[in-house]
A = this chain, B = another copy of it.
């Protein structure tokens, strides 16, 4: 980074404008695809707002471009000359579906750029340096934590250079996903299952193994949660063919085909999903698939739904992790604990879209959100 850090050079009007830019970035109902939330405010020399803009998602103009266009529409081609651009993310230096924003700001005659979060994108980064080289005054890190939080998963994915992986487990208190005879409807409560739909809706990909398709024939769609964008991509991993009669063998209601990743290597699967612009994969089953991701160090978060149910026998929720002795135990940190009780908002009482009865146990379930401990 060749840019200065936030300090006494940042004016109160610029910090205020950054808060406004964060608000704009957080606009409800956007369909962002693989892109981050970004807001931009253009200020004149007195700190008054010239124009605003925010990014509406992949394939649409970036926040800076929108703000510049709004400024020109209001006050002519030189509207932004000498202005200060306040942006929640370091302007990009990359020509993708849109031109580089850093260059657009230079071309518009912007004199100063204040941004919040440095661009974690290995491809697009360099915008601050480009602006600096062009003689623009550049300050980064203003409300940087707030901006990072706004795009937490996207940021993590950019830093990792692969989709963030959340492993979902739903099991009995004794760690089983089905009874001895294989029956499993229902272990978790309706409220817990509704919460899984909310979790799915927060990811852009749902991934299972071919074994789970054969055994459970899941539909993997978001049914019982608000979904502002498209359904998450349904992905299946493994070399086996999908049974032609399986729910995942036919396109979803919106026409989207299931992505079949013909590999057993989690890293290859994530590369393919990254290439397909995926940022957040929900690992939904089965135990063997999840264990493969765990062993490869490719689980970033675990969400465990624990039902107050004992089975005493039946398939284990967690497969062989290659752990033989306690010193090798996989240790996590509890990030959050939530009780999912009957009557939780969004709890369904009727059959889901695929005809399954969604009623079921009413006991309070416990949701644990955990993060793997990094080796020290």
Contact = CB atoms under 8 A, between A and B. Distances in A.
Interface of A: 171-176, 178-181, 183-187, 291, 294, 304, 306, 308-313, 316-334, 337, 339, 361, 363-366, 368, 370, 373
Given A173-B368, A183-B326, A313-B321, 17 more contacts: A171-B175, A172-B175, A173-B318, A174-B316, A174-B317, A180-B324, A309-B330, A310-B321, A310-B329, A310-B332, A311-B321, A311-B326, A312-B318, A312-B323, A331-B363, A332-B363, A337-B339
Contact of A333 (B330, B331, B363): B363
B173 A329 contact: no
A316 B317 CA distance: 12
Shortest 7 CB-CB distances between A and B: which pairs? Answer: A175-B175, A312-B321, A174-B318, A183-B326, A310-B330, A174-B175, A308-B332
Nearest to A178: B326
A291 to B, nearest CB: 6
B331 A308 contact: yes
A330 B318 contact: no
A313 B308 contact: no
B181 A325 contact: yes
Nearest to A365: B334
* Main DSSP-derived SS at the A contact region: loop
A108 B124 CA distance: 93
A160 B326 CA distance: 40
A5 B304 CA distance: 49
A370 B308 contact: yes
Nearest to A318: B174
A326 B186 contact: yes
A366 B337 contact: yes
Most buried by B among A187, A308, A316, A339: A308
A291 B311 CA distance: 11
Given A174-B316, A175-B174, A334-B363, A308 B368 contact: yes
A334 B365 CA distance: 8
B326 A187 contact: yes
Contacts of A308: 331-334, 368, 370
A311 B333 contact: no
A186 B361 CA distance: 34
Contact of A312 (B172, B309, B320): B320
Contacts of A312: 291, 316, 318-323, 330
12 contacts: A171-B174, A173-B332, A174-B317, A175-B175, A175-B176, A179-B328, A184-B326, A308-B331, A309-B329, A312-B316, A331-B363, A337-B339
Contacts of A334: 308, 339, 363-366
Contacts of A327: 183
